[in-house]
Amino acid sequence: MTLDVAAVRAAYPALADGYAYLDGAAGTQVPASVIDAISGAYRSGLGNAGGVFPASQRADAVTAQCRQAVADLTGGSPEGVILGPNMTTLTYRLAGTLARAWRPGDEVVVSRLDHDANVRPWVQAAARAGAVVRWAEVELPAGELPAGQYDSLLSERTALVAVTAASNVLGTRPAVAEITAKARAAGALSYVDGVHATPHGPTDVAALGADFYATSAYKWSGPHVGAVVASPGLLETLHPDKLEPAPGTVPERFEQGTPPFADLAGVTAAVDHLASLEPSATGTRREKILASMAAAHDHEQALFQVLLDGLGAMPGVTLYGKAPRRTATAYFTVAGTTPAEVAAHLAGRKVNAWNGHNYAWELTGVLGIRDSGSAVRAGLVHYNDRSDVDRLLAAVAELGG
Ligand SMILES: Cc1ncc(COP(=O)(O)O)c(C=O)c1O
């Protein structure tokens, strides 16, 4: 299936500003349907949750629909969808909750491929519990996270394995299912960071074997809302800190305070939008999502090849990472120009791209580039087209790339 990228782009008002939005890995634009869903929720009248009057019931319905939408996107169950402000906040919350059961000498495995949001919450929780942190290492120059190393990292003391489904700078997609299977065999839980991976292809939490799967709607055409997907049965065994009068039910007891109801309506609209990327797809919303995200994946990968070939042909450009399975995310430097200067030059040519470590703190340290401004990240999502890539390549070439 090929994506009708012109039709997809027409759905996004912000793309009309003439910029090439290659900053999707830091947050995508939103389609008009998401903007309308958010303003529509406000216009319809929203109360707080749990009341007997219609505006309150609308807020409850919006929340339930959002859980169902995230479940459809990820292959999870709505009763296991925890909603929150963003992945980092939710991960700190779950780390604090899970660590209550950790004893001195228990072990936690994190990786140097991960965004710091799936590292530091675990490292800090482990320190408080007296647990030992073990590190999965990245193999260079490919930027792979070999699954085989987990055999020696795991033990009967391992409580948790935290691993990313895709690196937010190199794009590397580790063999998550293999890693989580090893974790399970050792009696450990797995916490998979799907923030970068989710927008780039179909997601199936069961196939990934993830006990927890974290994602953020603002990376996939939605508003700034995070979610963690787990099995309701697992959540029943966990008891986060909560206010006395707040719901004790699952998943509500993992959610703190009043949620942004209108934004939750936007999350549902974003999932509906993703489901519509491949208009000829039929069946349930889940089936349409799987077909649409497969089409998005193929579209991104075809463009990515053009991007890699173009950058790869420039002698002054150094590209980081070359894992065979990776998202359409390029991370590069240009000889004689700092990443900050490259990004500023690109901005002058109407190309949005990030420079810096992008919170891939351990990874940029391993790559030896963290203290020198790291690199420039240009990532593709479903709404990027050939002209975005061509503009980036022309602008980098101007720098003598
Ligand atoms: C791979 C990855 N994990 C985690 C995060 C943190 O997500 P949030 O901003 O929702 O806290 C990001 C954000 O860029 C990310 O790219």
Read out DSSP for 108-160?
EEEETTS-GGGTHHHHHHHHHHTPEEEEEPPBTTTTB--GGGHHHH--TTEEE
3-state helix, strand, coil in the chain (%, to 5): 45, 15, 35
Cis status of the peptide bond prior to 259, with omega within 30 of 0? no
Pocket test for ligand 1, best of 70, 83, 168, 364 (most atoms within 8 A of CB): 168
**How would you write the pLDDT of the chain (401 residues) with one tens digit per residue?**
689 999 999 999 999 999 999 999 999 999 999 999 999 999 999 999 999 999 999 999 999 999 999 999 999 999 999 999 999 999 999 999 999 999 999 999 999 999 999 999 999 999 999 999 999 999 999 999 999 999 999 999 999 999 999 999 999 999 999 999 999 999 999 999 999 999 999 999 999 999 999 999 999 999 999 999 999 999 999 999 999 999 999 999 999 999 999 999 999 999 999 999 999 999 999 999 999 999 999 999 999 999 999 999 999 999 999 999 999 999 999 999 999 999 999 999 999 999 999 999 999 999 999 999 999 999 999 999 999 999 999 999 999 87
Mutate which of 112, 216, 327, 358 for ligand 1 pocket (most atoms within 8 A of beta carbon): 216
How far is the C-alpha of 289 from the C-alpha of 311, rounded, in Å? Answer: 32
Q: Which atom of ligand 1 is nearest to the CA of 88?
A: 11
Confidence (pLDDT) at 109: 98
What integer pLDDT is reported at residue 376 of this predicted model?
A: 98
Q: How far apart are CA 259 and CA 82, in angstroms?
A: 11
Q: What are the structure tokens assigned to 306, written together?
A: 């053009």
What phi, psi does 85 have (nearest 5°)? Answer: -65, -35
- Ligand 1 centroid–CA 221 distance in Å is 14
- CA separation for the pair 133, 325 (Å, rounded): 27
Contacts of 309 (CB under 8 A, 6+ apart): none
d(CA 54, CA 56): 5
Q: Ligand 1 centre from 195 Cα, in Å?
A: 6
Answering whether pTM is above 0.85, one says yes
Nearest-atom index, ligand 1, CA of 193: 3
Measured in angstroms, how far is the CA atom of residue 3 from the centroid of ligand 1? 26
The CA-atom distances, in angstroms, between 108 and each of 112, 139, 205 are 13, 20, 21
Structure tokens at 246: 């707040």
Alpha-carbon distances, residue 275 vs 3, 214, 271, 283, 291 (angstroms) = 12, 20, 6, 11, 8
In this structure, the strands spanning 81-84 and 226-230 are antiparallel
Cα 382 to averaged position of ligand 1 atoms, centre (Å): 19
Indicate the top mutation candidate among 23, 82, 87 to test ligand 1's pocket, ranked by most ligand atoms within 8 A of CB.
87
CA of 83 to the centre of ligand 1 (A): 15
Residue nearest to atom 7 of ligand 1 (CA): 87
> Residue 89 corresponds to which amino acid?
T
Q: pLDDT at position 56, please?
A: 98
What is the per-residue pLDDT for 316?
Answer: 96
Q: Cβ(355)–Cβ(376) under 8 Å?
A: yes
Torsion of CA 260, 271, 63, 48, to 10 degrees: 30
Cα of 323 vs centre of ligand 1, distance in Å, is 21
- 87 CA → ligand 1 middle, Å: 6
What six digits make up the tokens of 314?
């420039």
400 Cα: distance to centroid of ligand 1 (angstroms): 33
Specify the ligand 1 atom closest to the Cα of 117.
Answer: 4
139 within 8 A of 145, measured Cβ to Cβ: yes
Confidence (pLDDT) at 175: 98
pLDDT at residue 1, as a whole number: 63
- Residues with Cβ within 6 A of ligand 1? 26, 86-88, 115, 117-118, 164, 168, 193, 195-196, 216, 226
Q: Which residues lie across from 135 on neighbouring strands?
A: 110
Test site for ligand 1: of 195, 203, 213, most ligand atoms within 8 A of the Cβ: 195
Q: What is the pLDDT of residue 30?
A: 98
| CA 359–ligand 1 middle distance (angstroms) | 8
